[in-house]
Structure 1
Amino acid sequence: MSQKTVLIVGAGIAGASTAWHLASLGGYRVILLEMEDAPDRHSTGRNAAILRTAMPDPILHGLARESLDFYRNPPNGFCSQALFEPVGLYLAATAEASEDFLGWTGNPDCQTGAHRVPSSQLYERIPQLAPGIEAVVHLPEEGVFQVAEIHHSFLRGATKAGAEVRYKHSVEGLCIDEGTLQGLFVNGELLKADSVLIAAGAWASEITREANLPMPLTSYRRHILVTHPLPAVKKDWPVVWIAGAEFYFRPESGGLLLSGCDQQPVAPEHGEISDDSALALAAEKTDRWLPTFTDAEMPFYWAGMRTFAPDHRFIVGPDPRLPGLHWAAGLGGHGITCAPAVGKLAAEWITSGWSKHPQATFLAPGRFPAEPCPR
């Protein structure tokens, strides 16, 4: 009996995780198609590496909690080192934001292992933090991901189980004949497939637009900056995320990695071009919350994209407009945090045609209005 072929568009974290889950099941020919010369050129390789499972949306927190179990206890042989460092995470809020903040952080469906603590505890850990924090929640088991190890472990495991990864393979569009998905046009040729998974991050909807099968996805640019080494920064400092002010920071290479949490809607081709106004915003927020470091040089910075559906929930599962077409997109900055659960769910839809996962229906593409399949 011949194997069914699954083409996965995008070798970032969503595509890599799905390929690992599919290849581990056996019985499928899995081919990852990546337009770049390496798998981490875009969002997967440009994130802040922060492990934060606490989220206001209980659906997304459920995926994050499930994924954290995987990261804590990965399968034998999956990786060569720990997948995250539990330095601790402090979520904090200003007075203006504290009511909403305490509402969702106090909901057990939105967080696991969180403890409300006095703000003095955070100030003891970070004496340089300026006044203005009203509410604080501590998650001692969260912290910083080893993103490269996670990503490449998924890819290594997938290829070891028989999957192929093809770099510099640009997908030009879907091949559809009389309403039936035939495969993809790639580098000017047709690659036939039984199923296609779109896991192309900010470019996801571009892949299907010509076939009149786009998804309502919007990409937003965000900047991350890293300072020079700073003697006052301790390497064992936790991650700190301030709600209301929308500012986060953590130790990195002897200095600080930080973001002013700018959000500018962009076309994918512009999403990684730095904007001076966003850099100024980060500097302004650093001056507000970490005035000791106001004059710190920030020679390293980059822009990346976070892609969202209108309801800010992921899009994972089969497209009701075209049998065989699947999605793992709109992960909105939570790609690393939720990758194991997203990949498992996407693979389940592809192999079974249904899913018993408790979050499946909330993430299914069919929740958006569907146009008839093109003929």
Structure 2
Amino acid sequence: MNAPVVVIGAGCIGTAIAYHLAKRGVKGVVVLEREPFAGAGSTSKAAGGIRAQFSTPLSVQLSMRSIDHFERFADEMGTDPVFFQVGYLFLLADEVRWQAFQAQARMQRDLGLPVEVLTPEAVQARIPELRIDDLLGATFCPRDGLGNPHEVTQAYVARARDLGARFEFGRAATGLRMKGERVVGVETAAGAIETPWVVNAAGPYAAEIARWAGLELPVLPVRRHCFTTEPLPFVRDDLPMIVDMKSGVYMHRESGGLLLGLANRDEPPGFDVSVNWDFLPEVVEHAIHRVPALEAAEVSNGWAGLYETTPDHNAILGAPVGLEGLLLANGFSGHGFMQAPATGQLLAEWIVDGRPSLDLHALRLERFAEHQAFVETNVI
């Protein structure tokens, strides 16, 4: 079997790449997915946030390109609305971080992002339920918002198929075929696929695929939790994503209640996606501190998924030096869904045009060995 491109992984990143390749006229793209359907892994556990308020210009630019896509997604893909621009509200309570966010807001505005800097009083005027006595200020961007990872991923699959892509569900990649320093195919239990291009979009399993080509990819899986509440009277449709940078807790509307999330900084790397209910009290404590009305809320559900993290919390995008035929789309560190459209477009350009329309040099794999990594600090 032959294919012009083989994509390993059918989450939001892999399906976006397949769609954009097919849109550019690449016929017969094959997507391999070990699970029985697309988006069954980390994509299915994503909180659905979409934002461009990042601390580094390249991350801002990637997300702005993605937001451009999300804004026209329903029309382009023929779906119901999947993107709701309720905004992201970052709450700041310590002086160092407050100064940093104000500087970031200036950088973001220079790039064309309409970011507002708010006083605590302005924050409470928008959301009266918030406690503000310990806040110094906030930033808000109305272009940010919430998306539906499942619907987005399934739409990419449907449209990519319409344009000639093939999705092989339940067919895992088991190795790479090499010819010298070039990847020339993918091994599977059902037989090999010869191809001039392989794209590693395997999410938390990306390091394993990279090792087949002799690469050490600094991508580690780390468990992250989300919990939801029963419906609450103060939750309205236009409630923004609220991120309390003091504690790290974030929350957004979900089925009439709130989705609550918090990173456990003591969580070791691994593939465990069972729910640690002992972590719930810490999440609730921080959430109640910021929204006291949550004290009366009842938790309805909880789940855990995997972030694919890098040391600097930025993605690894592009071709590794000295190895032909392989592209990396890994290590998004919790930002994969929100940056999937831009990633799909840019990697399709890499294959079709020979280079992407946005300079991705700073996201090369070699930045770690060269000590050129740049840390993204706005990670939740």
Q: Which amino acid aligns with 2:301?
A: F
Distance change in 2, residues 1:34/1:298 (3 Å): same
Q: Which residue of 2 aligns with 1:39?
A: 38
Q: 1 CA distance for matches of 2:166 and 2:265?
A: 35
2:346 counterpart of 1:342: no
Report the secondary structure of 1:299's partner residue: strand
**Equivalent of residue 252 in structure 1, options 234, 239, 254:** 254
3-state SS of 1:116 partner: strand
Query: Which amino acid in 2 is paired with 1:79?
Result: G
Contact 1:9 1:198 in 2 (8 A): yes
Partner of 1:159: 161
Deviation string 1:78-101 (CA, Å, 9 cap, x unpaired) is 132223112232221113432222
Deviates more, 1:11-20 or 1:87-96: 87-96
Map of 2:186 onto structure 1? 184
Give the deviation of 1:13 after TM superposition.
1.0
- The one-letter amino acid paired with 2:192 is L
Pair 1:17–1:199, CA change in 2 (3 A): same
Question: Any conservation in 2 of the 1:35–1:170 contact (CA below 8 Å)?
Answer: yes
Q: Which residue number in structure 1 is paired with residue 215 of structure 2?
A: 213
1:212, CA displacement in angstroms? Answer: 2.7
Partner of 1:18: 17
Structure 1 residues 31-40 or 128-137, which shifts more? 128-137
Q: Cα gap change, 1:354/1:367 in structure 2, threshold over 3 Å: closer, same or farther?
A: farther
Q: 1:294 to 1:151 in 2, by over 3 A?
A: same
Q: Give 1:137 shift.
A: 1.7
Shift of 1:3: 8.2
Cα distance in 1 for residues equivalent to 2:242 and 2:49: 10
Q: Aligned partners of 2:289 and 2:77: how far apart in 1?
A: 43
Deviates more, 1:22-31 or 1:152-161: 22-31
Equivalent residues of 1:220, 1:264 under 8 A apart: no
1:106 matched residue in structure 2: 106
Question: 1:316·1:326 contact (CA, 8 Å) conserved in 2?
Answer: yes
Please list, as runs of the form range in 1=range in 2, the aligned pairs for 1:195-214 lying within 5 A after superposition. Answer: 195-214=197-216
What is the Cα deviation at residue 24 of structure 1? 1.3
Residue of structure 2 equivalent to 1:238: 240
The residue aligned with 2:63 is: 64
Query: Residue 63 of structure 2: SS of its match in structure 1?
Result: helix
1:227 CA drift (Å): 0.4
CA–CA distance in structure 1, aligned partners of residues 342 and 237 of structure 2 = 31
**Contact 1:6–1:28 at 8 Å: present in 2 too?**
no
Residues 35-57 of structure 1 show CA distances to partners (whole Å, capped at 9, x for unaligned) of: 11121222212111122111011
For residues 366 and 354 of structure 1, do their structure 2 counterparts lie closer, same or farther at Cα, with a shift above 3 Å needed? Answer: farther
Cα displacement (A) at 1:325: 1.1
Contact 2:308 2:332 in 1 (8 A): yes
SS at match of 1:319: coil
SS in 2 for 1:70: helix
- Determine if contact 1:93/1:242 at 8 Å carries over to the other structure: yes
Contact 2:244-2:250 within 8 A present in 1 as well: yes
Could you say what secondary structure the match of 1:128 adopts? Answer: coil
Q: What amino acid is aligned across from residue 221 of structure 1 in structure 2? A: R
CA distance in 1, matches of 2:15, 2:218: 23
Report the CA distance shift for 1:238/1:368 in structure 2 as closer, same or farther (over 3 A).
Answer: closer
* 1:43-192 matched pairs, under 5 angstroms: 43-74=42-73, 77-96=76-95, 97-107=97-107, 108-109=109-110, 112-130=113-131, 131-187=133-189, 189-192=191-194
Q: 1:29 aligns to what SS in structure 2? A: coil
The answer on whether the counterparts of 1:8 and 1:199 sit within 8 Å (CA) in structure 2 is: yes
d(CA) in 2 for partners of 1:24 and 1:296? 46
Aligned to 1:352: 353
Contiguous gaps of at least 5 residues in structure 2: 371-380
Aligned residue pair count: 367
| Cα offset, 1:159, TM superposition | 0.7
Contact 1:72 1:83 in 2 (8 A): no
Give the drift of 1:181.
2.0
Instruction: Judge which range, 313-322 or 52-61, deviates more.
Output: 313-322
SS of 2:347's partner is helix
Distance (Å, rounded) in 2 between the aligned partners of 1:146 and 1:279: 24
Query: How big is the shift at 1:188?
Result: 5.4
Aligned-residue offset at 1:253: 0.9
Does the CA-based 8 Å contact 1:218-1:265 persist in structure 2? Answer: no
Counterpart of 1:326?
327
User: Aligned Cα RMSD in Å?
Assistant: 2.3
CA 1:76–1:286: 2 relative to 1, 3 Å:
closer
Could you tell me whether the CA contact under 8 Å between 2:226 and 2:304 is conserved in 1?
yes
Q: CA deviation at 1:111?
A: 7.1
SS in 2 for 1:207: helix
Cα distance in 2 between the residues matched to 1:109 and 1:13: 29
Instruction: State the secondary structure of the residue aligned to 1:38.
Output: coil
CA distance in 1, matches of 2:268, 2:12: 21
How far, CA to CA, are the matches of 1:293 and 1:36 in structure 2?
A: 37
| Contact 2:3–2:193 (8 Å) recurs in 1 | no
Residues 287/58 of structure 1: CA separation in 2 closer, same or farther (3 Å cut):
same
Deviations 1:170-224 (A, max 9, x none): 1112122444323111125322211110001100111232443231112222111
Partners of 2:245 and 2:175 lie apart in 1 by 40
Q: Which residue of 2 aligns with 1:373?
A: none
Give 1:365's aligned residue.
365
CA separation in 2, counterparts of 1:365 and 1:315?
Answer: 6
Contact 2:204-2:306 within 8 A present in 1 as well: yes
8 A Cα contact 1:318 1:364, kept in partner:
yes
Contact 1:56 1:110 in 2 (8 A): no
Deviates more, 1:286-295 or 1:261-270: 261-270
Scaled by the length of structure 1, the TM-score of the pair is 0.90
Q: 1:15 to 1:86 in 2, by over 3 A?
A: same
